[in-house]
Chain A
Amino acid sequence: MSEALLEVQNLKKYYSSSKGMFRKFGDSVKAVDGVSFTIEKGEVFGLVGESGSGKSTIGKTILRLHDKTNGEVMFKGKDVFSLSKKELRNLRVQTQLVFQDPFSSLNPRLRVGDAIGEAMVEHGLVSKWEVRERVLEVMEKCGLSPFHIDRYPHEFSGGQRQRIVIARAMAINPEFIVMDEPVAALDVSIQAQIINLFSDLQRENGLSYLFISHDLSVVEHLCTKIAIMYLGNIVELAPKEELFDHPLHPYTKALLSAVPIPDPTAKRERIILKGDIPSPINPPSGCKFRTRCPMATDLCVKKAPDYRDTGGGHFVACHYI
């Protein structure tokens, strides 16, 4: 068993809407409502869910980009939320984030080389006269040409910009990267290039990723372990093969059957879920999925199912499994 890099225990993050002009509504949005998982060293952990499931909130909270409401996040055995200022700075060198939109995550007034080199200098990892050399090294690793170093972000296409963002994240040699929908904005042919780059970087540097995505086919390709989220909870978590070959939760099954397959001869049973995702301000009682679940009963209305291990690290939260 390899060591745990990141342990999340019963993490909760509520956004309160009780301030300001909407005071009278006073409800909180339960973006993340009691989530537990572990990411081991060298693992690519996939977090899948539809909009509003809380997957991005988890990504930001575990890196302490905002506060938690409750629960525990341990990075390399240390509680992320009780780090001293110095230790927190240290955490920032070990972890990095890559966002979905490469157009808004680069400063338009910073040359590519400066954007990539900034963090190295800031954290004192290289001396000023070594920066350019190191930047060029990282750029080459990420498939950028040396002459790109003095250009500005607007001169690049979406795929190239995502390479710049990745190079910026890789520049300080992090151990753990949170990727929030990093290929969702890219075209298929460019998406494949970037996904291969992720695999290469991961293999060469022994990195661990938290890969947040709504695209099950990308997650299956890249990840080793996958968690499926619905309205702030993990409904199922399992190693990749297990999850795709033997999905247990009705939501996972529906999600898998809803993904269009590029093969017109493929015959399969499609489960079409009724209705919309309920609002996280006022989620259904009991099991949150029950309003759309084809097998929901009275028990699901009354009681939320336990999140438990069904064996072999296959976790699921459903009364009927």
Chain B
Amino acid sequence: MNEMLLQVNHLQTNFYTENGVVKAVNDVSFAIREGETVCIVGESGCGKSITALSLMQLIPENGKVEGGEINFSGKNLLKLNKKDVRRLRGNEIGMIFQEPMTSLNPVFTIGEQMIEPIQEHLLLSKKDAYKKAMDLITMLGIPNAEKIVNLYPHELSGGMLQRIMIAIALSCNPKLIIADEPTTALDVTIQAQILDLLREIKKDFNTSILLITHDLGVVAEMADYVVVMYAGKVVEEGPVLELFKNPQHPYTKGLLKAKPVIGERKDRLYTISGQVPNLVDLQEACYFADRCEHAMDICRMKQPALTQMAKGQKAACWLYEDGENR
């Protein structure tokens, strides 16, 4: 087993809105080892993106990380001062966002935007930084590096821009890359290229990747370890093979059954009835209870804890609380 790189313990991120307190990330714990890809999967509003942003301490103003700890190679990130956090971003943790079109500044050339973080973090001269930028562009399979660095973001396609974003994230040799829905805005054939690229990076540099996605197909292709989130909580986690072969939580099971899969040709799709609850002022209960086929009395009264199951899986469900089905 590789060494532990990132450990998130009982992370709690709350948002203060007009309607009340939203517990966007509610007691979330997980860990990433060196060279491992961990996927957080869930539907919109489940807190997966806010978890990622909390790691980088980039959450919007009305939100606050109010509890827990984030240990990254021996340091608790939540205890660092602003300057140190800034050093860390880009340097040791790189981030890639969903919309490559909006994550780059439209009035600077690709080159300028690539060179700036390299100079800032690696303290290289402008000439060396330029050379490094060129190397990175070539390494990511973009032809005509000399031409590309002088272009503005609007002159490149979405797939190209996402490669540039990955190049920027890689530029300071980070130990961890956080990728928040990196291929959601891209076409299928381009998505295949980008996922392939991320796999190669992981292999060549032993970089850990935290991949946030809603697409179970992407998870199956990329992940070593999967964390399933629902309404701000981790409902299930486990190694990718086990989780897909033998999902435990009713929500995970439902998600896997609800997605149409090429070659399966079912007559009807399985549906999870109802919709995600409003996260404002949730009562003490299993948040999935209202949509769950197996809901029992206890589900509506008390929240289940993550319980260790066989083969390294964990699930938060009252079905497994009494020791049966293990």
Binding site for B on A (CB under 8 A): 50-51, 157-160, 187-193, 195-196, 199, 214, 216-218, 220-221, 244, 254-266, 270, 272-273, 276-277, 292
Q: Which of A244, A259, A276 contacts B157 (CB 8 A)?
A: A276
Shortest beta-carbon contacts, A-B, top 5: A260-B217, A192-B258, A50-B187, A187-B43, A258-B192
Contacts of B268 in A (CB 8 A): 196, 199
Q: Give the one of B189, B215, B221, B270 with max A CB within 10 A.
A: B189
Q: Which residue of A lies closest to B193 (CB)?
A: A272
- Given the known inter-chain contacts A157-B275, A264-B221, A276-B157, please indicate yes or no for A270 contacting B258, CB distance below 8 A: no
A196 engages B244 (CB within 8 Å): no
Q: Is B121 an interface residue (CB 8 A)?
A: no
Distance (Å) between the CB of A311 and the closest chain B CB? Answer: 23
Which residues of B211-249 are within 8 A (CB) of A?
214-221, 223, 240-241, 244-245
Contacts of A221 in B (CB 8 A): 260, 265-266, 269
Distance (Å) between the CB of A160 and the closest chain B CB? Answer: 8
Q: Give the one of A216, A218, A254, A272 with max B CB within 10 A.
A: A272
- Given the known inter-chain contacts A50-B189, A262-B219, A264-B220, please indicate yes or no for A276 contacting B261, CB distance below 8 A: no
Can you list 21 A-B contacts (CB < 8 A)? A51-B187, A188-B43, A191-B258, A192-B258, A192-B259, A192-B271, A193-B271, A195-B260, A196-B271, A217-B259, A217-B262, A221-B265, A258-B189, A259-B262, A262-B219, A263-B244, A264-B220, A264-B221, A264-B241, A273-B192, A273-B193
B272 engages A192 (CB within 8 Å): yes
15 extra A-B contacts, CB within 8 A, seeds A187-B44, A217-B259: A157-B275, A188-B216, A188-B258, A189-B43, A192-B258, A192-B259, A217-B262, A220-B262, A220-B263, A255-B189, A258-B189, A260-B191, A262-B217, A263-B244, A270-B196
Q: Looking at chain B, what size class is its interface with the partner chain?
A: 35 or more
B259 engages A262 (CB within 8 Å): yes
Q: How far is the CA of A149 from the CA of B195 in the complex (A)?
A: 45
Contacts of A292 in B (CB 8 A): 189
Q: How far is the CA of A50 from the CA of B219 in the complex (A)?
A: 22
Q: Which residue of B lies closest to A218 (CB)?
A: B260
Contacts of A160 in B (CB 8 A): 275
- Given the known inter-chain contacts A159-B275, A189-B43, A264-B241, please indicate yes or no for A258 contacting B260, CB distance below 8 A: no
A260 engages B214 (CB within 8 Å): no
Q: How far is the CA of A190 from the CA of B262 in the complex (A)?
A: 19
Q: How far is the CA of A10 from the CA of B40 in the complex (A)?
A: 46
Contacts of B196 in A (CB 8 A): 270, 272
